Chains A and B, each alone.
Chain A
Amino acid sequence: ETGVTQSPTHLIKTRGQQVTLRCSSQSGHNTVSWYQQALGQGPQFIFQYYREEENGRGNFPPRFSGLQFPNYSSELNVNALELDDSALYLCASSSLGATSGETQYFGPGTRLLVL
């Protein structure tokens, strides 16, 4: 059973650029959630994808967008990067329909620095 993987591990971009982060979900999981963790803060929910459709969104602007593929892997795209987008981006996979949150498995994250 493979765990949740994310790529790249680190990334440096400049303001105004676009970035794509990738996540491979755990085998057997059909749902991917993305979170942003700014320095000194807890993870903040960005959005969730279930069977290739967005299934809920947090308080993030439309320049944060995502995709989920038939194999349930996922991408997070951020356009027009701002300095405040510098954060650790975490993805978590799970099986929707589970009754409790402990079925959510997090990847190690991608650390994005916007200069």
Chain B
Amino acid sequence: DQQVKQNSPSLSVQEGRISILNCDYTNSMFDYFLWYKKYPAEGPTFLISISSIKDKNEDGRFTVFLNKSAKHLSLHIVPSQPGDSAVYFCAANPTNFGNEKLTFGTGTRLTIIP
């Protein structure tokens, strides 16, 4: 049972344009959502997060939007840069667990075309 879903395995975007990565979840107990970025041969690195009490969080070129009623979140990267090419994972943290026991999606491979 995939509780966090990233339905697009890959996405290609022109450099300078906006990249939009999507994520859906099914578990209503999820309270905190994170995006991680992964380069080959490296572990995932934290990118940005959002609490369920918010609907938007922005950090530089990265913005995460949360639609709790639709159980949907998205990551916007603008403008996209070649260094953004990586696999992006959406992850969720359930409220009745401790911290850091994350449930991950299957990832979206983002390719930025120069």
Beta-carbon contacts under 8 Å, A3-29 to B: 4
Binding stretch for chain A, among B12-20, B68-76, B78-86, B98-106 = B98-106
Identity of the chain A residue whose Cβ is nearest the Cβ of B104 in the assembled complex: A42
> Residues of B contacting A96 with CB < 8 Å?
98-100
Contact of A101 among B42, B49, B107 (CB under 8 A): B49
> Residues of B contacting A103 with CB < 8 Å?
99-100
Contact of B49 among A4, A44, A102 (CB under 8 A): A102
Number of residues on chain A facing chain B (CB within 8 A):
32
> Residues of B contacting A108 with CB < 8 Å?
41-43
Closest-CB distance, B31 to chain A (whole angstroms):
11
Cβ of A104 and Cβ of B100 under 8 Å apart? yes
Can you give 9 A-B contacts (C-beta < 8 A)? Answer: A33-B101, A35-B102, A35-B104, A43-B104, A45-B102, A50-B98, A96-B98, A101-B49, A101-B91
